[in-house]
Amino acid sequence: MSKAGLAQFQQVFIEESLEGLDTMESSLLALDNGGDAELVHTIFRAAHSIKGGAATFGFPEMSSFTHEAESLLDEVRSGKRAIDGSIIELLLRTVDCLRGMFARAQAGEPLNDAVAEGLRNELAVAMGRGVPAGDVQARRAEDQADAWIVRFRPHQGMLAGGNDPLRLIRELAGLGELDVTPEFDRLPASLAALEPTECHLGWTIELKGPVKRADIVAVFDWVEGECDLAIEAKHVVAPVAPAAAAAPAAAAPAANVADAGAARAQREASAESSSVRVSIDKIDGLINLVGELVITQSMLDTFREGDIDASRLAMLEHGLAQLARHTRELQESVMGIRMLPIASVFNRFPRMVRDISQKLGKQVKLELIGEQTELDKTVLEKIGDPMVHLVRNAIDHGLETPDKRRAAGKQDTGTLTLQASHRGGSIVVEVSDDGAGLNRDAIVAKAIQRGIIASGEGMSDEAVADLIFQPGFSTASVTTDLSGRGVGMDVVRRNVADLGGAVTIRSTQGKGSVFTITLPLTLAIIDGLTAAVGDERYIVPLVSIVESVQLKGEAVRSVAGGGELFRFRNDYLPVIRLHDMFGCENAVHAIDEGLMVVVEGEGTRVGLFVDGLIGQQQAVVKSLEANYRRVQGVSGATILADGSVALIVDIAGLVRMQGRRKAA
Amino acid sequence: MGSKSVQSKGGGQARVIALPADFRLAGLADVKASLLEALDAPAVQLDGTAVERVDTAALQLLLTFRRGAAANGKTPTWSGVSDVMRDAAGVLGLVKALELPATMPA
């Protein structure tokens, strides 16, 4: 096959293997929680596919590495070895290591690294295979040698399975010079006793040349389990002292935990918005709808010629109604293609919760609810990080250690719940824990110390809870490496706000906290109010609108420095004149002739002064950046019913622009 | 594939076994039957000139046949061997055990 052709399949192989690794990981975690034996088979199958694929697509290092894990799994599967915590731990790290290998494969870097080498060694040691540890070290050391002795004894059924030693040895001959010695000891004494389809031969092959063990293993990859194979180096190139080889193995666990996140992040970064997998059902549904649309169109086409007499008017109306319905359904279905279950985000948490809780000495039970809730792929890709932050916070700051929980009269094991659901046109994701809850006094004290507020008196619990979203706020007395890396809840709020969503918190001291992230179902369509400014139309996203008021001229005061303020409830809010900001002509300038729309962006309220509001509508967002260029204060554009273009106002951007103007 | 008799050097009847062009696993039952019969013949000559495809199973069959014949004090001879067969035997290290002729007889 050509190189380009293989590369194309390589990508598919990598994607599938990463899914396989996810399956392995979740199955291992389930097994850790007392899952059944079927899980072992699932894990084994995943490992086996990766091994086979890796050999086929030219990753012999990965293939031989996975082979070690597979051998271990095989022993578990066949009941030769009981699965225990240490094996699960080892296999989980193998999964991480393979993820790293795939990331390196995609980046075109060498696959093996110190972690992989150490882990391969550990797997071999765990396997034992009756080989003393020292020998295993020696085996590892001779990954490359000048000459090899390969003992190859096919099982009887190998020929019938379609694998011919002739082909294998020929392939081996491609690696270097061979000296093949056949073994006849299993050959039947008489011809009559020979079943021609069974293999009774064996070979001892000496292979001369600088060859890697992995390359030899790769040759025999497909006959794994159909033969006995022993590969020994005849001349070791660089013998390594056992002590030196053992060191990376010991260092591996710690390094690996950190690696897991990095590898994942790298993988997700590269996977982002590259492609989306769509189920056949969804595509069939689309094709069906398009078919209906074509039928309706041809039906309406009959009205094109000649006059429409009154008798056919009903039919025309019917056709138009059908067209409208099909268009709407088609829109929904096309949107549906971008919708993926949130499970892909949720699935990373069991592992993370396990690692973090072990590190902190806490007992945490993770409950996932509503994993099948679907949301837009773009939202899905971006919701991961804020959720990771919330989950880390919940375990680190929220949930208590077992003895503290006991003292508070709770069960030793804390519960962390991730729940996703549809609510109206939004997705609601809740991260809740039954931990200590927010400590009002500590938060108020901290906020005063940081100069965020002057005093906590008269503040509602909600207002106090809201303080943790302020930039620069962190109450963790000890900064751990888990949370409190200077990335605070304000970043979580900003990330969610970037997606057009909001984060709120509900907390009861001693009972726990609930963080609620509300997100739009899709970023492709927004609900907005159409505002007129001069000759132009702007869309103001509905989520950011607090209310709109008509003010008297004297309600707006000019302040020193050029800004304008108006009184809204008990606050003074700055005024942003949209015509001024965007330079619109023929706009209303007098305050009492226009309308003040109070909007909220990034936690700040401002008054948006427009000529008037025309009405509410759903706007299909077209990227301004892709079609023109990035414009400050504008998040996109849409096309109105009359065909004209309206810009969608980016409230957060406007607030930032206003801030800079004031500073200037 | 067929077998016929020719006058051997020793004067007795030598059975000639012509190996098929596709000398592989699927067709070995027939070859085995002919070879079993040939074991009773005073002398056997193998003809591998027509062999175009061969596999390990086929060579294993020949090997077992030769060893069985040797146990009866007989040594089957070769009337010829194709390059394909010689190459396969070479890869599997069986040239000596099969006592393949060094070169094609003219």
Which residues in B lie closer than 8 A to residue A184 (C-beta atoms)? 63, 67, 97
pLDDT of residue A16: 84
Query: Mean pLDDT across the stretch A149-166?
Result: 86
Q: In chain A, what percentage of residues exceed pLDDT 70?
A: 86
A219-240 pLDDT, tens digit per residue, is: 887 787 788 888 887 765 444 4
| Residue among A184, A180, A175 at smallest CA distance from A216 | A175
With residues binned 3-state (H G I as helix, E B as strand, rest as coil), the percentages for chain A, rounded to 5, are 50, 25, 30
Q: How confident is the model over A573-589, as a mean pLDDT?
A: 89
User: Which residues are CB-contacts of A517 (< 8 A; sequence separation ≥ 6)?
Assistant: A383, A386, A387, A390, A428, A429, A430, A431, A496, A501, A502, A503
Residue A530's pLDDT is what? Answer: 93
How would residue A6 be classed by pLDDT, with cut points 50, 70 and 90? low
State whether A116 and A174 are in the same domain.
Answer: no
DSSP summary character for residue A158: G
Domain boundaries, chain B: 3-91
Identify which has the larger pLDDT, A176 or B60: B60
Distance CA(A30)–CA(B62), nearest Å, equals 54
Is the same domain home to A422 and A450?
yes
Q: Which SS3 state, helix, strand or coil, does residue B63 take?
A: helix
Specify the residue for token string 């180096």: A233
Torsion over CA: B98, B101, B103, B105 (sign): negative
- The confidence score (pLDDT) of residue A575 equals 92
CB < 8 Å from B in window 417-446 of A: none
For range A568-578, the mean pLDDT? 88
What would the pLDDT profile of A64-78 be if each residue is shown by its tens digit? 888 888 888 888 888
How far apart CA A452 and CA A106 sit, in angstroms, is 46
- Do A193 and B39 contact (CB within 8 A), yes or no? no
Residue in B with minimal Cα distance to A198: B57
* Cβ–Cβ < 8 Å for A507, A515: no
Kindly state the tokens that stand for A94.
């193998």
Task: Pick the last residue of a domain from A453, A485, A520.
Answer: A520
| A93 and A193 both lie in a single domain | no
Residue A343, C-beta contacts closer than 8 angstroms, at least 6 positions apart: A371, A372
Name the residue among B56, B65, B71 with its Cβ closest to that of A164.
B56
> The domain that contains A545 carries what CATH number?
2.40.50.180
Same structural domain, A211 and A255: no
User: Which pLDDT score, from 0 to 100, does residue A392 have?
Assistant: 86
> Whose CA is closest to A60, among A47, A73, A51, A69?
A51
Which of A507, A494, A497 has the alpha carbon at shortest distance from A465? A507
Whether A107 and A253 map to the same domain: the answer is yes
Tell whether A374 and A355 lie within a shared domain: yes
Binned at pLDDT 50, 70 and 90, residue B12 comes out as low
pLDDT digit string (tens) for A521-539? Answer: 767 778 889 999 998 999 9
A308 and A426 assigned to the same domain? no
A470 and A576 in a single domain? The answer is no
Task: Answer yes or no: do A531 and A636 share one domain.
Answer: yes
Claim to verify: residue A296 and residue A210 sit in the same structural domain: no
Instruction: Give pLDDT tens digits for B19-30.
Output: 999 998 888 888
Structural domain total, chain A: 5
Per-residue pLDDT, A487:
53
Last residue of a domain, one of A238, A257, A291: A238
Q: How much is the pLDDT for A75?
A: 83
* CATH homologous superfamily for the domain B3-91: STAS domain (3.30.750.24)
CATH of the domain at A186: 3.30.70.260
pLDDT at residue A274 greater than cutoff 70:
no
Q: How confident is the model at residue A482 (pLDDT cuts 50, 70, 90)?
A: very low
In terms of Cβ atoms closer than 10 Å to its own Cβ (0-12, 13-18, 19+), residue B106 is exposed
Task: Tell me how far apart the alpha carbons of residues B32 and B16 are, in angstroms, rounded to a whole number.
Answer: 14
User: For residue A196, which residues of chain B lie inside 8 Å, CB to CB?
Assistant: 25, 28-29, 31-32, 57, 60-61
Q: What span, in angstroms and rounded, lies between the C-alpha atoms of A540 and A649? A: 5
- Domain extent, residue A201, equals 143-238
Residue A133: predicted pLDDT: 41
pLDDT digits (tens, 9 = 90+) for A77-108: 887 778 888 888 888 888 988 888 888 888 87
Question: In this predicted structure, what is the pLDDT of residue B54?
Answer: 92
Interatomic CA distance for residues A257 and A261, integer angstroms = 7
* Residue B94: other Cβ atoms inside 10 A: 22
Tokens of A168: 């294998």
Residue of B nearest to A193 (CA): B64
Residue in chain B nearest A160 by alpha carbon: B25
A-chain residue closest to B94, CA distance: A182
A16, A112: one domain? yes
Q: Report CA dihedral (A515, A518, A521, A523) to the nearest 10 degrees.
A: -110
| pLDDT for the residue A209 | 81
β strands within A534-649, DSSP E: 536-541, 545-549, 556-558, 564-568, 571-577, 595-601, 604-610, 612-620, 634-639, 645-649
Q: Which of B29, B35, B56 faces A191 most closely, judged by CB atoms?
A: B35
pLDDT value at residue A27: 86
Q: Which of B22, B28, B60 to mutate to test the interface with A (most CBs of A within 10 A)?
A: B60
**Same-domain status, A432 and A386:** yes
Domain boundary among A310, A337, A364: A337
Nearest to A194 among B25, B54, B61 (CB): B61
Where does the pLDDT of residue A653 fall: very low under 50, low under 70, confident under 90, or very high at 90 and above? confident
Among A3-12, A183-192, A593-602, the minimum mean pLDDT is found in A3-12
Give the model confidence (pLDDT) of B39-52 as tens digits: 888 888 899 999 99
Answer whether residue A147 shows pLDDT above 60. yes
What's the pLDDT score for residue A267? 44
> Residue A415 has what pLDDT?
92
Which residues on chain B place their C-beta less than 8 Å from a C-beta of chain A? 25, 28-29, 31-32, 35-36, 39, 54-57, 59-61, 63-65, 67-68, 71, 88, 91-94, 97
DSSP 8-state assignment for residue A622: B
Which amino acid, A168? L
Residue A240 vs residues A21, A141, A544: alpha-carbon distances, Å: 32, 6, 65
